Amino acid sequence: MLYFIEQCLNGVQLGMLLFLLAAGLTLVFGIMDLVNLAHGSLYMLGAYFAATFATVTGSFVLAVILAVLASLVAGMVLEVVAIRRLYDRDHLDHVLGTFGLLLFFNELVRLIWGPAGLTLPLPREMLTAVQVIPGVYYPVYRLVIIVTTLAVAVLLYGVVMRTRLGMLIRAGAANREMVGALGINIKLLYTVVFGLGAALAGFAGIMQAPILTVQIGMGENILILAFVVIIIGGIGSIRGAFVASILVGLIDTIGRAFLTDLLRRVLSTNAADTLGPALSSMSIYMLMAAVLVFRPEGLFPAASR
Amino acid sequence: MTASLDPTLDAPPQSALLTPRTALIGCFLAVLALLPAYPLLTGDAFTLTLFTRIVILAIGAVSLNLIMGYGGMVSFGHAAYLGIGGYAIGILAKEGIESGFVQWPVAIGASALYALVVGALSLRTRGVYFIMITLAFAQMIYYVAIGLDRYGGDDGLTIYKRSQFGGVINLNNNTLFYYLCVALLVGSIYLVGRIVNSRFGLVIRGSRSNDRRMRAIGFPTFRYRLVCFIIAGALCGLAGALLANHTNFISPAMMHWTRSGDLIVMVVLGGLGSLFGPLIGSVTFLLLEEGLSRITEYPNLILGPILLLVAVYVHGGIQGLLEGRRRA
């Protein structure tokens, strides 16, 4: 039972990270109608920025702040230089163009930081574990991830729902021509939204960096997970992205932790050991396929936000 | 805009025999036919290996072009068929069944079956949802392959013997194997040409332009599209079988999602919905990759922006460029 609670916390933590990625992806998707395969590259860049700034400044917190700002700037520059030119093309051209960007960024990182991975050491006070409920010890840093990403999620919700910028973002998702016709500088809005998405993706990479190795291609598999999240949640819906992130995080983590043991009760050990990991890796894709077949617009279609 | 959505419909009349396009295609075919002479003259065996690989992946691109270019079904999981075809060969070889007369039909049949299941579920969706659901299924197969501990799991599996075809053809002869691949490529281009110009193909192309109208005039387009999807899957499964025989090795990396991305790039680069586009695209893409990696340590630093430029500025890929169709 205690192990189960710990795994649930891990699932929530993965879910929150996915949300950071998916929020930016779903905004860009919903508003600019852009399929952005390079979103994972921004996640990777965030992690590399953080590792570099940590070495330069010696402070973890300072490195995080600087890296988020750097991701924001990188995203806005990317939008102005390249992404902007793809908006009026079809999805296939988006795939081609952003796939090119993905190759480019992987190579750029190899050129600048070299092929070997980097590590981002944590400050000492975050290396301990605390007792969250009697008997369950949980690493402080993972709790920090949950709390900060939750704070970011709340902040994002506040921005989208309560500010003028958020109003424009929602209006842009509903009808971008109309927003443009009403005299809003739609180009600037797009740049800001893309930069925001990049900063969120970068932040996800930064938070993940101390747990995993910072390496080339680290954004590729998690990008696909983020796509799964926004399809399940409904394209363009922040709330849907939030719910789907937690769902995907929990299913993935708990499946990995318990499915093999469960299967052992009904199958031979050998079969369970083979089937368990495969099935648990597949589970979220099966969920997504089921959602697409039965509710093609996702759990929270953008129109009902 | 509606007319130019389907490049096949507003292509220039076929009577102009010597256009830059036909000249280029002629050159490509001539080079492919004469290529084995090059290693004979220079002793450079690598070129033949490289081109065998290019020809095999071109078959995959031709298959993807059938559904994506003519049918408007953007499959982002096409590498799964390469994997299924390859794993069919690898698994049978490991279990001691080395006859190609068994292996190849199994590879093609398994791919077709997978295409039937995936198509039946995913063809209900459209646009970006279709892209994502095909990707999701491919990811599932990818993780299944990683889970196959008996067949190498994550590390992959070496195939010690190429498919045995009795006395018919010896695949261990690299030149013969290359010509077999070229013949299959030409055959698959011919097949796709026949399909898209048949009544069946007209339904597929019509459904791409306006599915609702096709259904309104009485075509059960879902069935047509599903059959087309299965044909493409089977064809790409064949490419997978060839690839496994070529490299003597299979691994989950064959169907990593970036592989599916590569195939899309080849088709779009060459020219969507044109018969020879996938061939031009795969030769260009893979040669560019190879060439750039010889002159610089960081080839993708150049290749990536080229893809972006093609996506932004070129309408209809290299084929479109040759026909002078540029975006206004």
Are B303 and A286 an interchain contact pair (Cβ–Cβ within 8 Å)? no
- In the predicted model, what is the mean pLDDT of residues B181-200? 94
* Domain span including residue A295: 10-304
Q: Does pLDDT of A293 surpass 90?
A: no
Q: Which of A282, A283, A294 has the most B C-beta neighbours within 10 Å, making it the best mutation to test the interface with B?
A: A282
Question: Token pair 């990759």 is at which residue?
Answer: B289
Q: Please indicate, yes or no, if residue A1 is contained in any of the structural domains.
A: no
Which residues does chain A have within 8 Å of residue B128's beta carbon, measured at their own beta carbons? 29, 35, 91, 235
The pLDDT tens digits of the residues spanning A157-216 come to 898 889 998 888 888 877 878 888 888 888 898 999 999 999 999 999 999 888 888 988
pLDDT score for B328: 36
Q: Please indicate, yes or no, if residue B157 is contained in any of the structural domains.
A: yes
Domain count, chain A: 1
What residues pair up with A133 in beta bridges, in sequence order?
A136
Are B312 and A86 an interchain contact pair (Cβ–Cβ within 8 Å)? yes
Task: Give the ipTM.
Answer: 0.87
Percent of chain A beyond pLDDT 70? 99
Q: Please indicate, yes or no, if residue A4 is contained in any of the structural domains.
A: no
Taking the C-alpha atoms of residue B296 and residue B302, their distance in angstroms, rounded to an integer, is 9
**Tokens matching residue A99:** 């796939």
Q: How would you label B98-130 residue by residue, b for 16+ Cβ within 10 Å and e otherwise?
A: bebeebbebbbebbbebbbebbebbbebeebbb
Q: Does pLDDT of A258 surpass 70?
A: yes
Q: Please indicate, yes or no, if residue B51 is contained in any of the structural domains.
A: yes
Question: Are the C-beta atoms of residues A193 and A167 closer than 8 Å to each other?
Answer: no
The pLDDT tens digits of the residues spanning B272-302 come to 888 999 999 999 999 999 999 998 888 889 9
Q: Please indicate, yes or no, if residue B3 is contained in any of the structural domains.
A: no
Q: Is B150 on the interface with A (CB under 8 A)?
A: yes
Q: Please indicate, yes or no, if residue A3 is contained in any of the structural domains.
A: no
Q: How would you label A279-294 residue by residue, b for 16+ Cβ within 10 Å and e otherwise?
A: bbbbbbbebbbebbee
Q: Please indicate, yes or no, if residue B5 is contained in any of the structural domains.
A: no
The pLDDT tens digits of the residues spanning B110-148 come to 999 999 999 998 898 888 889 888 988 998 899 889 888
Q: Please indicate, yes or no, if residue B290 is contained in any of the structural domains.
A: yes
**Tokens matching residue B225:** 């599209």
**Tokens matching residue B185:** 């490529």
pLDDT score for B179: 92
Q: Please indicate, yes or no, if residue A102 is contained in any of the structural domains.
A: yes
- Longest Cα pair distance anywhere in chain A, in angstroms? 67
Q: Please indicate, yes or no, if residue A2 is contained in any of the structural domains.
A: no
Q: Does pLDDT of B198 surpass 80?
A: yes
Are A96 and B306 an interchain contact pair (Cβ–Cβ within 8 Å)? no
Q: Does pLDDT of B185 surpass 60?
A: yes
Phi-psi region of A130 (alpha: psi -120 to 50; beta: other; left: phi over 0): beta
Q: What is the CATH number of the domain that holds B79?
A: 1.10.3470
Percent of chain B beyond pLDDT 70? 93
Taking the C-alpha atoms of residue A76 and residue A73, their distance in angstroms, rounded to an integer, is 5
The pLDDT tens digits of the residues spanning B38-95 come to 877 877 778 889 999 999 999 999 999 999 999 999 999 999 999 999 999 999 999 9
Taking the C-alpha atoms of residue A299 and residue A291, their distance in angstroms, rounded to an integer, is 7
**Tokens matching residue B312:** 């932004």
Q: Please indicate, yes or no, if residue B13 is contained in any of the structural domains.
A: no
User: pLDDT-derived band of residue B259, with 50, 70 and 90 as boundaries?
Assistant: very high
Q: Is B20 on the interface with A (CB under 8 A)?
A: no
The pLDDT tens digits of the residues spanning A105-117 come to 999 999 999 988 8
Q: Does pLDDT of B226 surpass 70?
A: yes
User: pLDDT-derived band of residue B17, with 50, 70 and 90 as boundaries?
Assistant: low
Q: Please indicate, yes or no, if residue A34 is contained in any of the structural domains.
A: yes
* Domain span including residue B32: 22-322
Higher pLDDT, residue A103 or A169: A103
pLDDT score for B202: 93
Q: Which residues contact B202 (CB under 8 A, 6 or more apart)?
A: none
What is B2-54 written as a DSSP string? TGGGSTTTTPPPTT--S-HHHHHHHHHHHHHHHTTHHHHHH--HHHHHHHHHH
Percent of chain B beyond pLDDT 90? 56
**Tokens matching residue A161:** 């729902």
Q: Give A44 to chain B, closest Cα distance, Å.
A: 16
pLDDT score for B213: 93
Q: Please indicate, yes or no, if residue B327 is contained in any of the structural domains.
A: no
Q: Please indicate, yes or no, if residue B1 is contained in any of the structural domains.
A: no
Which residues does chain A have within 8 Å of residue B311's beta carbon, measured at their own beta carbons? 86, 89, 93-94, 96-97, 100
Domain count, chain B: 1
Helix (H) or strand (E) holding B282: helix B277-295
